[in-house]
Amino acid sequence: MNYYLNFLLGTQLIGVLFIVIGALQRFLPPKKINRWYGYRTPAARIDQETWDAGNRYSAIYMMRLGLLYYIIGTIINAIAFFYVADYDKQNMIKYFVLFAGAIGIGVLSTMATEKYLAIKFKNKVKKRRK
């Protein structure tokens, strides 16, 4: 039983986590600029317009990456479950994929949102960075 539960609670859960976080940020966005909740980089905190755009774009991008990672995680989990006989090696693969996925989604989401803000609010972001 535990063996099958381990298969169900595998690497794909990081994808689910990012889908949920992105959905929360998308459907319950922060109303005002703050230091606690939302997409909080200097480019996003220039004014309310950049704050709203950054949070909206970040949430959608995070949900898309979460869905992609859910699919990739499920495939990797199935490969590890069916083709790697050693239980410890399966767990090592899963932990590596979980860690790399969490870091990767965070970095890609931030890079894409910063690029989006730099293009959309070219003058505001450029002034702020000088």
Q: Which of 18-22, 42-46, 80-84, 95-99 has the highest mean pLDDT?
A: 18-22
Contact 18, 69 (CB under 8 A): yes
Domain tally, the chain: 1
The Cα 77–Cα 95 span in angstroms is: 11
Over pLDDT 70: what percentage of the chain? 89
- Average pLDDT value for residue range 77-104: 82
What pLDDT is attached to residue 81? 77
Integer Cα distance of 75 and 59 in angstroms = 24
3-state DSSP call for residue 60? Answer: helix
- Is residue 129's pLDDT more than 60? no
The residue-averaged pLDDT of 106-122 equals: 93
Query: Rounded CA gap, 105 and 79, in Å?
Result: 22
Q: Bigger pLDDT: 83 or 25?
A: 25
> Containing domain of residue 36, as a range?
2-129
- For the entire predicted model, the pTM comes to 0.83
Does pLDDT of 92 surpass 70?
yes
Mean pLDDT for all residues in the chain:
86
